[in-house]
Amino acid sequence: MNAAYLEFLYNLGQFNIKLGLSTIREMLNRMGNPHHHPRIIHIAGTNGKGSTLATIEQLLLDTGFTTGSTISPHLISFNERFRICGQSVSDEDLNRAFERICLACDIDLGLIKPESRDGSISPTFFEFAIALAFEVFRAHKVDFIILETGLGGRLDATNVVDNPLACVLTRIGYDHQEFLGETLEEITWEKMGILKKNSPVFVTQQLERVKQIIKNHCMDTGIKAFFPPEDFSVEYSDVSHETIYRLITRNRKNTELPFEISVSAQSLAGDHQKQNTATALALYYSIIPEGRRLSKDGVIRSLQRVTWRGRLEYLDESKRILLDAAHNESSIKSLFDFLEQKHHDQRILFAIGWKKDKQIVDVIDLNGLKQVDFLPIIQENEKALDADKVIELLAERNFSTLQAIGTAELADGIANKSLPEHDLLVIAGSIYLLGEFLEIWQSPQHH
């Protein structure tokens, strides 16, 4: 994207987060309401939004549809936030969309600085980003739009959509309490804010009290809701070593039909990803007519093609470097469950760093793991917790902790094999840390 345009967008960050929909509604109204699209899938939740989106996206693409998707945040490039048919949009697409929005909203392209904005519209970074998404999707005339909420749901800029085709609630847990509320009940209510009366919702496996809140709300408001294990489920067969997905599908006469599909291997690793996959499959089989759906073999091939960067992703074929965007309590728990399951007998070097507003140390559980040495990473990002504080917090738990190094040193250490001895290197704790590392790792000097 044009550097001046991008700088303008990032400068909007000084206005921080503004919860509410009046500004984005006004922007989109001036743009001709590109968000009035008949096939929008809206996803909210704490963890698993991106993975669920990527699975739905792949299933739709393999069925022959075109898609436009939003994700947040990006790992390396701003363009990643906007996907056309599974690929990041081009600079040209974003530049054109940016200019159209500026024209519609009376932003002076000759100035491109925050004070040049029309006084009647003062968008935040996120509002402008959502406006960009809808403009890009309109230009490409996509068949389906898949929206991932940025923060919460009720007052998130994506919630300008009034009649989604379907909604998804992925796993809900503690995150962004400063905006969404201190209790799980308050956070759940904010996430449920995307639900609309005439739009079915597909709910990933939840804590029982969260599930009950969602179920009661849907019953009270008449929203059609699909829950595991009643409507769809997943289990692992110790005999065949296959993951078995079971769904209740319906024919044109609305007759319930049990449906089962067995998958021997899929690209997204981790038990929690199987729950996300089950939710994506339930949605797919519900919204796509019987005659248009993929065959069972086609679905299996789709699940084997899904990719989602930085989610239990091995960086090398020997599976000695594992990246994971675990950055809050529940995702850190899922990561350590995976390590106990797959790498319990290995010496793990854990490169870690997290944001100032996160509390993740207390949920780190090393039980069942042979050896874990933490390697705090000094990050460039101003939102990152200082590495000395990371060391202090890890030391309070009596975890084995090494001297902090920078992201460039970490990449160099991998390249020249100078890191402390280990069988597996894990890099996790912050999406920003992963992005910082990957940008260096993919640079010419490392490849």
Q: Mean pLDDT across the stretch 307-315? A: 88
pLDDT of residue 236: 86
With beta carbons less than 8 A apart as the criterion, state whether 47 and 335 touch. Answer: no
- Angle between helix 208-221 and 184-191 (nearest 10): 40
Q: What is the pLDDT of residues 245-292, one digit of tens each?
A: 999 876 666 667 788 999 988 888 888 889 999 999 999 999 999 899
Query: 309, 75 in Cβ contact below 8 A?
Result: yes
Instruction: Tell me: pLDDT of 243 over 50.
Output: yes
The token pair that represents 227 in the structure block = 């829950």
Distance, CA of 178 to CA of 187 (rounded, Å): 10
Q: Which candidate, 218, 214, 216, 193, places its Cα nearest to that of 205?
A: 214
Give residue 100's pLDDT band: very low, low, confident or very high (50, 70, 90): very high
* Residue 112 pLDDT > 80: no
DSSP string, 252-310: TT--EEEEEEEES--SS-SHHHHHHHHHHHHHHHHHS-TTTSPPHHHHHHHHHH---TT
- The confidence score (pLDDT) of residue 15 equals 47
pLDDT at 113 over 80: no
pLDDT higher for 388 or 241? 388
User: What one-character DSSP code corresponds to residue 432?
Assistant: H
**26-35, 69-78, 195-204: least confident range:** 69-78
Specify the pLDDT at position 357.
79
Residue-by-residue DSSP string for 367-422: TT-SEEEEEEEE-S-TTBPPHHHHHHHHHHTT--B---EEHHHHHHHHHTT-SPS-
* Each residue's pLDDT tens digit, 167-177: 999 999 876 55
Do residues 268 and 277 make contact, with C-beta atoms less than 8 angstroms apart? yes
* Domains located in the chain, CATH noted: 3-305 (3.40.1190.10), 313-441 (3.90.190.20)
Q: Is the dihedral of CA 116, 118, 119, 124 positive or negative?
A: negative
Q: What is the DSSP string of 154-183?
A: TTSGGGG-SS-SEEEE-B--S--HHHH-SS
Q: Show the tokens assigned to 101.
A: 């929005």
- At 394-438, the pLDDT tens digits run 999 999 999 999 999 999 999 999 999 999 999 998 888 999 999
**In this predicted structure, what is the pLDDT of residue 81?**
95
Please state at what angle helix 3-11 crosses helix 125-140, rounded to 10 degrees: 140
The predicted pLDDT at position 116 comes to 47
SS3 147: strand
CA–chain centroid gap for 439, Å, is: 19
Does residue 230 have a pLDDT over 70?
yes
Average pLDDT, the chain: 90
Q: Is the peptide bond before 164 cis (omega within 30 degrees of 0)?
A: no
**pLDDT over threshold 80, residue 447:** no
Sheet with 166-169, edge to edge strand ranges = 87-88, 82-84, 67-70, 144-148, 40-44, 166-169, 201-203, 225-226
pTM for the complete prediction? 0.89
Task: Name residue 377's beta-bridge partners.
Answer: 405
Distance of alpha carbon 194 from alpha carbon 223, whole angstroms: 12
pLDDT tens digit string along 317-326? 899 999 998 8
Q: Of the candidates 27, 12, 25, 4, which has an alpha carbon nearest to the alpha carbon of residue 100?
A: 27
| pLDDT value at residue 249 | 75
DSSP state of 355: B
Please, which pLDDT band fits residue 153 given cuts at 50, 70 and 90?
Answer: confident
Residues sharing a CB contact under 8 Å with residue 358, sequence separation 6 or more, in sequence order? 327, 328, 385, 430
Rounded Cα gap, residues 441 and 444, in angstroms: 8
Question: What percentage of the chain reaches a pLDDT higher than 90?
Answer: 68
Report the range out of 15-24, 109-118, 171-180, 232-241 with the highest average pLDDT.
232-241
What one-character-per-residue DSSP string does 41-86 give?
A: EEEE-SBSHHHHHHHHHHHHHHHT--EEEE-SS-SS-GGGGEEETT
Which helix (DSSP H) or strand (DSSP E) does residue 128 occupy?
A: helix 125-140
Instruction: Please state which of the ranges 37-51, 169-183, 329-343 shows the lowest mean pLDDT.
Output: 169-183
For residue range 340-372, list pLDDT tens digits in order.
999 999 999 999 999 887 788 989 999 999 999
Percent of the chain with pLDDT over 70: 92
When pLDDT is cut at 50, 70 and 90, the band that residue 181 belongs to is low
Q: How does residue 212 score in pLDDT terms, banded at 50, 70 and 90?
A: very high
pLDDT of 118 over the 80 cut: no
Interatomic CA distance for residues 157 and 126, integer angstroms: 7
Residue of higher predicted confidence among 124 and 218 = 218
Report whether pLDDT(140) > 90: yes
User: Could you give the CA distance from residue 157 to residue 148 in angstroms, rounded to a whole number?
Assistant: 10
